[in-house]
Amino acid sequence: MFTRRHFIASAAATLAAPAIVRAQSIWRRYPFSLGVAAGDPSPDGFVIWTRLAPEPLAEHAGMVMAPMNVAWEVASDSGFATIVARGDAAARPELAHSVHVEVAGLQPDRPYWYRFQAGGERSIIGRARTLPAASASPASLKFGVAGCQAYDDGYYTAYRHLAREELAFVYHYGDYIYEYRGGTIRPGFGGGVTVSVREAVGDTLYGIADYRRRYAQYKSDPDLVRAHAAHAFFHSFDDHEIANNWVQEIVDGGATPEVFRVRRAAALQAWYEHMPVRRAQMPRFGDVAMRRAVRYGDLAEIDILDTRQFRTDQPCEDGFKPRCEGVGAANASVLGAEQEAWLTQNLRRDPTLWNCVAQQIMMMALDRRTRDEPAPIYNMDAWVGYEAPRRRLLNRMAGLNNVVVLTGDEHQNFAGLLHDGDRPVAVEFVATSISSGGDGQDVRPGSDRILANNPQLKFINDQRGYITCEVGRDEWRTHYMVMDRVSTPGGAISRRATATVARGTPDLTIV
């Protein structure tokens, strides 16, 4: 595609249409098909990302396997009248021709606009906000929480709506892709079969080319492109970026730890290549240092956790089960010793009004019975399967009276209280999926039982969408934004409920 012939063809087209002023392009197809993204904002900058992919589903996404120069610029206005930073970056074949630029030296707490240029073509314009200075006292913060976006299960219209929200950033709790085999009919999440509303290409993902192609297809979605162009994201990962319910080097399906590690390394490299994350999150010998702390002035600290890479195996052979002996294992761990110590230290610190723990798996110990069964049923892939570390963490939250836990994974909305013994110590908001699970309904059959069996649970809803958090100095409000449908394009969003928390009181009110 870098042939002289295409170069001439494109120059001739320019001559034939003199009214269109554009640089000569070397491309046969538009190279910025996956859009742009920004991530990990700080008070003085953020990461800007793109990937050259003229043919997203083709081998090497249609790229020649050589490095290519990509120019970038950041402006303080949407018209790019004032460029405040610019440079060149190499899109390298080792990293699927992705580009990650850590922009620094910007002003705190304001929007910027960025774009890329390569071979005579320009990307769309992205927008990102820097964070306030650590010493600032912001009156408020509004951010979004989203994740679980199975391409086959629904359209990303929720992302189109998210793009229109006024937000400082978005926290993505993971399941950005799903590693399942694509197709029209697949096994459903809760048994039965799911009929795809659109088809992911390819078989089950194992090698790096498989994962790259899945990301390329997902990221071609125009609503997802819009959301990334509108807001900077803080990305984490959950299980489906790699494989269903993996932890450490353990996965279902018979692969030994050595063999799974090969697959995990490929998946995490592809994750890095497609996420606007910093060099610190580049895989190193197959591991990613994913956890990080985000400071929003003196208003909030957000600790982003990694609940997969260091977790011990799920007890009771995983699944939704009655309690077995393994749940009480004293040496069980969700975060690993080092991350747990880091979080403990962050929760002890008192520089911010709110402590927010942004993670993946549900922390409330919910009895999941939806019909008559003799014993409570628990999700062994959630914190409830890890009694000892769960108790330790909730005990450390006791007395802080400013802890809000944000969770994904469940493909449903939940709001409820977390207890240390009998006393509530924190609130938990579980954000529903963007598309995973399909249209849904207000209340899933049997969920009335879950509400009745779990007094700590205050709200449950089974529609797709996202949540937004409006954080004030005295009050936290979480808005549950739900879609009427995702099975066809053009679905409408509405605010299903708002949960309010007064700082100093670990309790919530649903309106």
Would you tell me which residues interact with Ca ion (CB under 5 A)? 175, 238-239, 409
Shortest distance in whole angstroms from residue 247 CB to Fe ion: 15
E strand segments, 97-205: 98-103, 111-118, 121-122, 126-129, 140-146, 170-172, 185-187, 193-195
Shortest distance in whole angstroms from residue 180 CB to Fe ion: 11
Shortest distance in whole angstroms from residue 304 CB to Fe ion: 17
Terminal-to-terminal C-alpha distance of the chain? 57
Query: In the structure encoding, which two tokens stand for residue 98, read together?
Result: 């992705």
Find out whether 179 and 243 touch, Cβ atoms under 8 Å: yes
Q: How many residues bind Fe ion (CB under 5 A)?
A: 3
Shortest distance in whole angstroms from residue 445 CB to Fe ion: 20
Q: Quick one: which segment of 112-120, 144-152, 280-288, 484-492 binds Fe ion (CB under 5 A)?
A: 144-152
Q: Which is nearer to Ca ion, 239 or 439 (CB)?
A: 239
Shortest distance in whole angstroms from residue 238 CB to Ca ion: 4
Q: Which is nearer to Fe ion, 34 or 148 (CB)?
A: 148
Q: Which is nearer to Fe ion, 175 or 221 (CB)?
A: 175
**Residue 239's binding partner, choosing from Ca ion, Fe ion, none, with beta-carbon cut-off 5 to 8 A by kind?**
Ca ion
**Residue 436's binding partner, choosing from Fe ion, Ca ion, none, with beta-carbon cut-off 5 to 8 A by kind?**
Fe ion
User: Does residue 410 bind Fe ion (CB under 5 A)?
Assistant: no
**What whole-number distance in Å separates Cα of residue 71 and Cα of residue 142?**
32
**What whole-number distance in Å separates Cα of residue 210 and Cα of residue 190?**
26
Q: What is the DSSP letter of 182?
A: P
Q: What is the DSSP letter of 87?
A: E
Shortest distance in whole angstroms from residue 230 CB to Ca ion: 25
Find out whether 464 and 160 touch, Cβ atoms under 8 Å: no
**What whole-number distance in Å separates Cα of residue 255 and Cα of residue 261?**
9
Q: Quick one: which segment of 87-95, 196-204, 373-381, 435-443 binds Fe ion (CB under 5 A)?
A: 435-443
Shortest distance in whole angstroms from residue 244 CB to Fe ion: 9
**Residue 402's binding partner, choosing from Fe ion, Ca ion, none, with beta-carbon cut-off 5 to 8 A by kind?**
none
User: Does residue 436 bind Fe ion (CB under 5 A)?
Assistant: yes
Orientation angle between helical segments 222-230 and 157-164, nearest 10 degrees: 20
**What whole-number distance in Å separates Cα of residue 367 and Cα of residue 384?**
10
Can you tell me which of 37, 74, 91, 148 binds Fe ion, judged by CB under 5 A?
148
Q: Quick one: which segment of 180-188, 245-253, 432-440, 461-469 binds Fe ion (CB under 5 A)?
A: 432-440
E strand segments, 43-161: 45-51, 68-75, 83-91, 98-103, 111-118, 121-122, 126-129, 140-146
**What whole-number distance in Å separates Cα of residue 188 and Cα of residue 203?**
17
**Residue 435's binding partner, choosing from Fe ion, Ca ion, none, with beta-carbon cut-off 5 to 8 A by kind?**
none
Q: Quick one: which segment of 4-12, 187-195, 205-213, 433-441 binds Fe ion (CB under 5 A)?
A: 433-441
Q: Quick one: which segment of 70-78, 170-178, 285-293, 477-485 binds Fe ion (CB under 5 A)?
A: 170-178
The residue with tokens 């959630």 is 382
Q: Beta-carbon neighbour count of residue 287 at 10 Å?
A: 13
Which of 388, 372, 469 shows the shortest CA–CA distance to 430?
469
Orientation angle between helical segments 222-230 and 208-219, nearest 10 degrees: 80
Shortest distance in whole angstroms from residue 250 CB to Ca ion: 15
**Residue 420's binding partner, choosing from Ca ion, Fe ion, none, with beta-carbon cut-off 5 to 8 A by kind?**
none
